[in-house]
Amino acid sequence: MREGSRAALRLAEGAALRDVIDTGDASAWLWLDEGVRTDEWYFVPYTVPSWEETPGGRSLTAALHADGPLTEGQLALALCHRDGRIRYRALGRVTGRPALLPLVVVRCADWAQPVRERARKRLAEALDAETAARLAPLVRRLADRHRGDHALGLLGEVLRKAPGERLAPLLTSPDRPVRRFAYGLAVEEGLLSAVELARAAAGDDDAVVQTLCSEAALAAVAEEDAEEVLGALLGARSPRARSAGVTALRRLGRPDRAIGFLADRSALVRACARYVVRQYGTDPLPWYRDRCADPGDPALPPGAAIGLAECGTRADAGLLWPLLDHPAPGVRAKAVAGLRSLDVTDVPRMLRLLDDPAPGVVGEATLALLPSAGLLPEAWLAERLAAGRPRWVRVSAYRLLDARGGVVRLRAAVALLADADERLRTRAELTVRWAGPWGPDAEVAELLARARSHLGRGAPVPAQDS
């Protein structure tokens, strides 16, 4: 809003529109529209006479009524004016001024019906394929507003009639809603082949586009394109695209390829792979047990360890415990996660993993130990709060001490009130300020006194229970 107010003031002072806002940024037009109507600058006529003065010396309102000359900046201000009658008349002056079309789009969702209808008529007259592509980010953003869907429907009509290449810039737009709209249109109109859709699903970072394109690619795939489509989907970084490709292996009668995804890094892909092999009569559990049987196998994928837990039983914990010493950090972390999912926890064996050099292993071990936090040695954990320890070890120790509650929680928090790590210090401050009241204990009194000395005399520190 503040940016829009500054832009409005500069326009009122006579600056050119292109020098005031980034005309290619949809947000800039919305800020300007809101900024023109803010009290922050709106009464500057008393200090900036040019705001209501046209080049011919008439007021803005008079010039609009008499079809007098107006600068582009003044017309932009008029299109955003508080008075609907001025907005309405300004729309009659936009023909031949393509730079102002974004504000015409904004007025298509105007709350005043006469203004709204006139803006829609002007937009329909001016909109062609090239202009539609340029205005798409703004149109798509306004579509979420009340009465904002008309411009989006008009945009779709124009692009449906345009050559397919006109849609290409929108398919690579950095604006995600625009890409979703463009791919939806391309799928609806059949503008992309199955291979192109599969590549889009594999290459786009938006989950909606990935799902839309992968489903459309598999619905349209022909036998001669199957390998290329599957290759794009199965090799995608996105789990959504890979899972769609794996699931399609069943329909295409190629379950053998699904075995290679039983140990995928994504739980979704692993689940789809198990579904496919089961549909062809193969139980994946023996495959997982065989892969995890050698705890020293350097080629063991981490997904095999967690996959075993996902479809195994508590008896399979015997294969996971040795993997806690595997040379690969990913395997150790997934083995801990697997043991936790099987609800198998050996506190001493898990506790030693809090000193693991891999942050992922320490994080998984922490999650496994949280339910048993009351059984953990406080002094041992407090040692790991020391500043010389790796950050992930310190965070883990604090989480476990904090989970103990009571005076143990307070001790850990006060110990970190002067810490150099800002995030740990902030978390400790929040604990001291809001986790009380604390018990009636002499040590608690001393800890709260130390806390007040760190936080300042006026800091809100809970009192002790009486």
Domain positions in the chain: 1-126
pLDDT tens readout for residues 300-350? 999 999 999 999 999 999 999 999 999 999 999 999 999 999 999 899 999
> Alpha carbon 40 to chain centroid distance?
33
Give the position of tokens 């390829």: 257
Q: Of 32-36, 244-248, 271-275, give the lowest mean pLDDT range.
A: 32-36
> Is residue 7 pLDDT above 90, yes or no?
no
User: Tens digits of per-residue pLDDT, 389-434?
Assistant: 999 999 999 999 999 988 899 999 999 999 999 999 999 999 888 8
User: By three-state DSSP, how is residue 438 classified?
Assistant: strand
What single letter denotes the amino acid at residue 356? Answer: D
Hey, which residues does 390 pair with through a beta bridge? none
Cα distances from 190 to residues 193, 216, 443, in angstroms, run 7, 9, 73
Angle (nearest 5°) at CA 155 between 153 and 156: 65
* Residue 442: how many other CB atoms lie within 10 Å: 8
For the chain, the C-alpha Rg in angstroms (whole number) is 32
Query: Helix, strand, or coil here: 70?
Result: coil
Q: Above 90 in pLDDT, residue 456?
A: no
Q: Report pLDDT digits (tens) over 420-432.
A: 999 999 999 998 8
Measured at the alpha carbon of residue 89, what is the angle toward residues 98 and 127, in degrees to the nearest 5?
30
3-class SS of residue 162: coil
Q: What is the pTM of this model?
A: 0.81
